[in-house]
Structure 1
């Protein structure tokens, strides 16, 4: 029997685990450490997050589906850059950038869900049209741009 509540909990836990492995990965890269094992764990968790996201019942195409498709496309490039191209030349940058963007997308969706599901945050940000939504997502974007650029630069030094 399909238990939506349990499925949702599993999906959320996978997504949070991806974020909690992805952030240390980016900081490690920033410090010039390649961390291939942590990168693989993060990659697998992000793949599972996107894959399980398509298991929810739906009637129409939603923004979450677009994010899932985008994330899977980015992760396909990440996989190709790492295992097919062996991080040679510009593929190291492609690997770091696509994985960093996939981690950002996970953080973006996590913040959206926090605004929707956590009562105190929902009171501050009642809809995606409210100024708090744009402010929160704008700050998240700025933080990830800075961290992502620094991480990719550090990853190139780790070669």
Structure 2
């Protein structure tokens, strides 16, 4: 039992929260690339990604491992994103700090999603049963390249004049 739920039910809730976080994060990222701020989607992304990282620590484990390390780093990254967005209102360099940490948090969530997919989906597991084989490395490499490219576009294009307006923001100057 975890928080009064069976392990299976808790796992399902954790996975659903993670999927909502990834979905909302992708919507927020596309908006940032388009120079828009979607306050509700962003809040949903941040809240569910914090919840995903935090609930990951509740699973029973005998030792600290890679999932714990990724979860801890993710929570620190999310703290910076939250401070930049809600505490510093994206002023000055806080805009850059927010975009970089939001994209990084989404990347970590997707990174774990790829790991889980290769562990749990039979077709993918057959391609990389140890998680060290080329198909796994290629998938993670493509994810990293996509995150870097999307992050660069978001940094270049996301310049909110008024947070939460959802309106198009001025074009970027590079």
TM-score (norm 1): 0.96
Measured after TM superposition, the shift of residue 124 of structure 1 is 1.0
- The higher-RCO structure (CA 8 Å, 6+ apart) is 1
> SS of the residue aligned with 1:111?
helix
CA distance in 2, matches of 1:133, 1:56: 24
Task: Name which one, 1 or 2, has greater alpha-carbon Rg.
Answer: 2
**TM-score, normalising length from structure 2?**
0.88
Determine the structure 1 residue equivalent to 2:100: 97
Find the aligned partners of 1:101 and 1:47 in 2 and give their Cα distance: 13
Q: Within 2, Cα distance between the matches of 1:2 and 1:20? A: 25
Structure 2: runs of 5 or more not aligned: 161-168
1:29 touches 1:155 (CA, 8 Å); kept in 2?
yes
More helix by share: 1
Tell me the secondary structure at the aligned position of residue 156 of structure 1.
coil
Q: How many residues align?
A: 159
**Hey, what does 1:84 align to over in structure 2?**
87
Could you list the structure 1 runs, at least 4 aligned residues long, displaced by more than 2 angstroms after superposition: 156-159
RMSD between superposed Cα atoms in Å = 1.2
Q: Structure 2 CA distance, aligned partners of 1:12 and 1:2?
A: 14
Structure 1: gaps spanning 5 or more residues: none
Quick one: distance in 2 between partners of 1:83 and 1:90? 14
User: For the Cα contact (< 8 Å) 1:32–1:155, is it kept in 2?
Assistant: yes
